Amino acid sequence: MPTEEVDPRFADLDAWPPASAMEAMWEGQLAAVASVGRALPAITAATNAAKEALGDRGRMIYVGAGTSGRVAIQDGAELKPTFGWPERRLHFIIAGGETAFVASVEGAEDDAAEAVRLIDAARLSENDVVIALSASGTTPFTQAALREAGTRSAVTIGIANNPGTALLTSARYPVLIETGRELIAGSTRMKAGTAQKVVLNLISTGIMLGLGCVYRGMMVNMQLTNAKLKRRAEAMVRQIAGCGETEAARALEQAAGNIKTAVLLTLGYDTAQAERILARHKGNLRYVLADPADRDT
């Protein structure tokens, strides 16, 4: 597999001057990001399928082992603060469990039976989306989990860095990111890991765009967990509704920090009306503001 091979160009990397080694590693990172471009059609197809399946009750379920598992955790953990994605709709199936979040767990990535058990315990439905990552594309734990998820009618997305591998053939939506040989053979935390994170950024953000969590480039589903985010939310309300600072702050307080509801309050709706209209449009503020019928609701 390319990710496991020694690249002759970098066989003596450890003997290079530090500045030259640093430049080579940086160029490797640029190449990893560039490799994602070839996969954009597959990434788009996977994102669209995920958005349609999730609706208002499906879960995003990340699967991985080792570096790939930790990359998955990083992406999923950002969904709640950035997009208000409910914790009950987020699930991680990581080889070795929580211990593996920060440390290597010996033999965990080879335990296919445990992967099947965890998928069974997750009680998947057709609304769930399982995103499985493996740089090699052959990790037994990840491969078994994705294959089992496919038998439960879930949407399955497989992301791998080597072509023709089992993870890709098991996925309903395979995403191949051909990052090739690593500068340090097998160190997939480098090029492969970087490319995986880029792909997850695209998929998860694309899903949130489709589900109305973003309006005019703003995170209107954001949770206001600190003073900085509260100020950002007030600025959003002011910009969208064209109101003043005091009115925006008052509306956010009345809306319990819900930015979209606060926007509608400043436009003259009461709380019940705002919540009803948003529910009718599945929380999509663009649809709400574009529908003339809502102005008289």
Record the tokens describing residue 12, joined without a space.
């003596």
Question: What pLDDT, on a 0 to 100 scale, did the predictor assign at position 102?
Answer: 74
For the beta sheet containing 155-160, the strands, ordered from the edge strand earlier in sequence to the opposite edge, are 90-94, 60-64, 129-134, 155-160, 173-176
Domain tally for the chain? Answer: 2
Residue 195 lies in a domain: yes
The span from the CA of 170 to the CA of 145, in Å, is 10
Q: Which of 52, 78, 247, 275 is catalytic?
A: 78
pLDDT (0 to 100) of residue 85:
94
202 and 283 belong to one structural domain = no
Give, for all 297 residues of the chain, the pLDDT tens digit.
Answer: 787 777 788 888 889 999 999 999 999 999 999 999 999 999 999 999 999 999 889 999 999 999 899 999 999 999 999 999 999 999 999 998 888 777 777 788 899 999 999 999 999 999 999 999 999 999 999 999 999 999 999 999 999 999 999 999 999 999 999 998 888 887 788 899 999 999 999 999 999 999 999 999 999 999 898 999 999 999 999 999 999 999 999 999 999 999 999 999 999 999 999 999 999 998 899 999 987 666 555
Is the same domain home to 128 and 249?
no
**Mutual angle of helices 140-150 and 112-122, in 10-degree steps:** 40
pLDDT at 269: 92
**Is the same domain home to 172 and 249?**
no
Cα dihedral value 275, 228, 222, 216, nearest 10: 90
Element (H, E) at 58: none
Whether residue 70 sits in one domain with residue 15: yes
Of 156, 177, 210, at which residue does a domain stop? Answer: 210
* Residues 60 and 197 grouped into a single domain: yes
**CB neighbour list of residue 165: distance below 8 Å, 6 or more residues apart:** 1, 134, 136, 137, 138
- Co-location of 70 and 179 in the same domain: yes
The answer to the question of residue 161 being in a domain is yes
What's the CATH code of the domain at 249? Answer: 1.10.8.1080
Question: Same domain, yes or no, for 163 and 292?
Answer: no
- Tell me, what's the pLDDT at 171? 96
CATH number for the domain harbouring residue 33: 3.40.50.10490
Task: Take residue 101 and report the two structure tokens written for it.
Answer: 């979040």
What DSSP line would sit under 216-281, residue for residue?
TTB-TT----SHHHHHHHHHHHHHHHT--HHHHHHHHHHTTT-HHHHHHHHTT--HHHHHHHHHHT
Note whether 267 and 189 are same-domain residues: no
CA atoms of 173 and 159, how far apart (whole Å): 9
How many angstroms separate the CA atoms of 110 and 284, rounded? Answer: 43
pLDDT reported for residue 290 = 87
Cα–Cα distance for residue pair 40/150, rounded to 1 Å: 23
Domain identity same for 158 and 238? no
| C-alpha span between 213 and 210 (Å, rounded) | 8
| Per annotation, catalytic residue among 4, 98, 109, 234 | 109
Containing structural domain, residue 271? 227-296
Residues 6+ apart with CB under 8 A from 23: none
Determine if the pTM surpasses 0.75: yes
Among 210, 237, 268, residue at a domain's last position: 210
Residue 275 annotated in active site: no
Of 210, 241, 270, which one is at a domain's C-terminal end? Answer: 210
Q: Which two tokens stand for residue 243?
A: 């109101």
Residue 71: helix, strand or coil by DSSP?
helix
User: Is 215 inside any structural domain?
Assistant: no
On whether residue 222 sits in a domain, the answer given is no
Residues 205 and 251 in one domain: no
Based on the domain organization, do 202 and 278 belong to the same domain?
Answer: no
Inside any domain, residue 216: no
Residue 143 and residue 110 share a domain: yes
**What token pair was written down for 246?**
């005091």
Evaluate whether residue 145 is within a structural domain: yes
Q: Is residue 64 part of a domain?
A: yes
26 located within any domain: yes
